[in-house]
Structure 1
Amino acid sequence: MTEDKGLSDKLKGAKDKVVGEAKDSYGKLTGDKAKQGEGKAQKAKGTVNEKVGEAKDKLSDE
């Protein structure tokens, strides 16, 4: 298996941030507070995944 370090976590994080932003914007546009909250949560999850990926990169560089 190829070692991707933190790349897969960073990619998942970036995807979650984009999808979360879309849900947040849709929720704002339609007044759907639940969808807006779901989008904000998904953006936060994406940020966490990106940080995990960065940490994995740093640990593998040592």
Structure 2
Amino acid sequence: MEVSQLTQMKELQEENRKLKAMYADLALDHRILKEIVAEVHTTWETHAKWLHRAV
């Protein structure tokens, strides 16, 4: 392998590492948001049932 190819390969490896880290962060954000939405939805359903019973 030539020096330029090695340099390019190292640059691509670094970019790949950064993209993997970015994906991991986004996947975690997505999971957290899904949990929040599920909790809010459950809370909303509980309040709606309570209000329906009160009427």
Letter in 2 for 1:49: H
Whichever of the two has the greater Rg, that structure is 2
TM-score, normalization by structure 2: 0.56
For structure 1, list consecutive stretches of 5 or more residues without a partner in the other structure: 1-29
How many angstroms apart in 2 are the aligned matches of 1:56 and 1:40?
A: 24
Number of residue pairs matched by the alignment = 33
Could you list the runs of 5+ residues in structure 2 that have no partner in the other structure? 1-8, 44-55
For normalisation by structure 1, the TM-score amounts to 0.50
Query: Structure 1 residue runs of 4+, over 4 Å off?
Result: none
Residue in structure 1 matched with residue 21 of structure 2 by the alignment: 40
Higher relative contact order at CA 8 Å, sep ≥6: structure 1 or structure 2? 1
Q: Percent identity?
A: 3
